[in-house]
Amino acid sequence: MRVLILGGDGYLGWPTAMDFAAAGHEVTVADNYLRRHIAEATDSEALMPAPSLSERARIFAAASGYEIAVRIGDLSDPDFMFELVKQAEPDTVIHYAEQPSAPYSMRGFREARETFQNNLDVTFNCIWAVKDIVPDAHIVKLGTMGEYGTPNIDIEEGWLEVEHKGRKDTFLFPRAAGSLYHTTKVLDTDLLWFYVRTYGLRVTDLMQGPVYGISTDEADLDARLCPNFHYDDIFGTVVNRFLVQAVAGIPLTVYGGGGQTRGYLNLRDTLQCVRLAAESPAEKGELRIFNQLTETFTVNELAERVKGAGDALGLGVEIKSIPNPRKEKEEHYYNPVFTGLIDLGLKPHYMTDEVLTEMLERIVKHREHIVPERIMPRVRWNG
């Protein structure tokens, strides 16, 4: 396939580009380095420095023999998006190109507006470019399990059959996002659904849980190909933050009661899921939704797992509860359905002690780059 990856410099975008290229697909990536700029502006740089996207592509080509075409530009600009799609003529468009941080979106008016405009403009431009230039192309859009919130019923895979006053119909599963970032993802889904049913586009929306991991087959070819590993309070996921705290000798900071439950998956499984979706595309006029996770944990359970792996390495890990900077339920029902990708062939990598130990050992090698001030909450939902 000809594959166009929007947001190809990101934690997921870059490993996805290498994975598709190594599988024999023709890959073009595009990015404007928005995440890098925000990370620098908020003192939230990744633990391991990453070369530019063009340099990464050169390193990968030298190590693997596979080429990745790079385009640098602003995908929220319609002219750049349309010209990019004309040049790439993709069979598949993988859309990661959004401001990805919930805390950043809640930091203040400017950050909220930047998140809203970037995320919705890029999605809107992507839809129209595909509709007008490559209408048979398949859009694979990265959504988030955070769209659903924490309802007191099972979370189905995107759709819910409702019976009301003796009649039945199927609707998008109700959404109740917990940040502006997650709300932009809800709006993405609504936009996609409108254009699917109006113009017959083919779209797969992947409702992904938090991802952890550093290693992939391609990234392991050269240390400079490592994905962006953030551990701070703005871009770092809870797993990454706990692992870095364990190495730095900082107590693992559990927000509030620690009963918040989410669905997680290994970076390697994200690559599997996206490629499975792309290689088995949605039908024309279909919005196909998968819940992309492999297992669920509470924050307390994650902390105990990291503590166990850290203690086995002699790190002497402690756990500490701190006031929750977010507005969220700390105890709730959480039972998502996630069978669709398993049915397509996903073979999960679970969060074993071995997986956590491997990540800890990798982080230990970069211990001197850890900045403790980046870890504690700097953004609060109530201001």
Give the pTM.
0.97
Residue 309's identity, in one-letter code, is A
pLDDT at 382: 87
Residue 253 appears among annotated catalytic residues: no
- Let me know: does 107 contact 171? Beta carbons within 8 Å: no
Tens-place pLDDT, residues 228-242: 999 999 999 999 999
Residue 28 appears among annotated catalytic residues: no
pLDDT at 140: 98
Q: What gap in Å lies between CA 60 and CA 21, rounded to an integer?
A: 10
Q: Strand 211-212 relative to strand 92-95: parallel, antiparallel, unpaired? A: unpaired
What are the phi and psi torsion angles at 253 (to 5°)? -90, 100
Q: Please pick, among 16, 28, 92, 144, the residue that the annotation labels catalytic.
A: 144
| E strand residue ranges, the chain | 2-6, 26-31, 68-72, 92-95, 138-144, 159-164, 167-172, 202-208, 211-212, 252-255, 261-266, 287-292, 295-298, 319-322
What are the phi and psi torsion angles at 106 (to 5°)? -105, 10
pLDDT at 239: 97
List alpha helices for 134-224, DSSP H: 180-199
Q: Which residues contact 242 (CB under 8 A, 6 or more apart)?
A: 252, 302, 303, 306
pLDDT at 167: 98
Q: Please pick, among 42, 96, 148, 185, the residue that the annotation labels catalytic.
A: 185
Q: Please pick, among 181, 231, 264, 334, the residue that the annotation labels catalytic.
A: 181
Residue 168 appears among annotated catalytic residues: no
pLDDT at 383: 72
pLDDT per residue of the chain (383 residues) written in tens, 0 to 9: 999 999 999 999 999 999 999 999 999 999 999 999 999 999 999 999 999 999 999 999 999 999 999 999 999 999 999 999 999 999 999 999 999 999 999 999 999 999 999 999 999 999 999 999 999 999 999 999 999 999 999 999 999 999 999 999 999 999 999 999 999 999 999 999 999 999 999 999 999 999 999 999 999 999 999 999 999 999 999 999 999 999 999 999 999 999 999 999 999 999 999 999 999 999 999 999 999 999 999 999 999 999 999 999 999 999 999 999 999 999 999 999 999 999 999 999 999 999 999 999 999 999 999 999 999 999 999 87
pLDDT at 270: 98
Tens-place pLDDT, residues 278-323: 999 999 999 999 999 999 999 999 999 999 999 999 999 999 999 9
pLDDT at 65: 98
Domains of the chain (ranges; CATH) run 2-230+266-294+333-348 (3.40.50.720)
